[in-house]
Amino acid sequence: MDPLRRQPTDAKVEKLLDVAVALGELDREFPIQLLQTLLYVASHKDCHKQALEEDLSFSTASGSRNTDWLSKEHRLGKEGLGLITKEKDPSNRRRLQLSLTVEGQCLIDTLKGILYD
């Protein structure tokens, strides 16, 4: 018997693996909090950063770190992934409103295609 088995035995779990591989292509160190943040923004259009932090039990620092990483500019001058925008809420300038960019929506559509097609 060949010791290098590559035949999938669970097609649904293989789809989850395909999602993880797709995210790894964006950043090899794509952490679970970053995925949670992306999926929260994708499932809560124009949400507030504070709501995300409360609902996901993130500290303010974690919320900032993850939303920075997903936006255009990451910390320390490093380029972000450009998947979300962070803008001041027009109804309350102290709050940050989060939404997907076109690239972010394309990624979500790709992930949904992997899981549901």
Quote the DSSP letter at residue 75: G
Q: CB of 101 within 8 A of CB of 82?
A: yes
CATH number for 42: 1.10.10.10
List own/partner pairs for 49-52 with CB under 8 A and 24 or more apart.
49/86, 49/95, 49/96, 49/97, 49/98, 50/95, 50/96, 52/98
* Greater pLDDT, 59 or 76: 59
92-100 β-sheet, strand order: 47-48, 92-100, 84-89
27 domain-assigned = yes
18 domain-assigned = yes
94 domain-assigned = yes
pLDDT value, residue 1:
55
User: Whole-model pTM?
Assistant: 0.90
76 domain-assigned = yes
Tally of structural domains, the chain: 1
In terms of residue numbers, what domain contains 44? 11-116
112 domain-assigned = yes
1 domain-assigned = no
pLDDT value, residue 52:
97
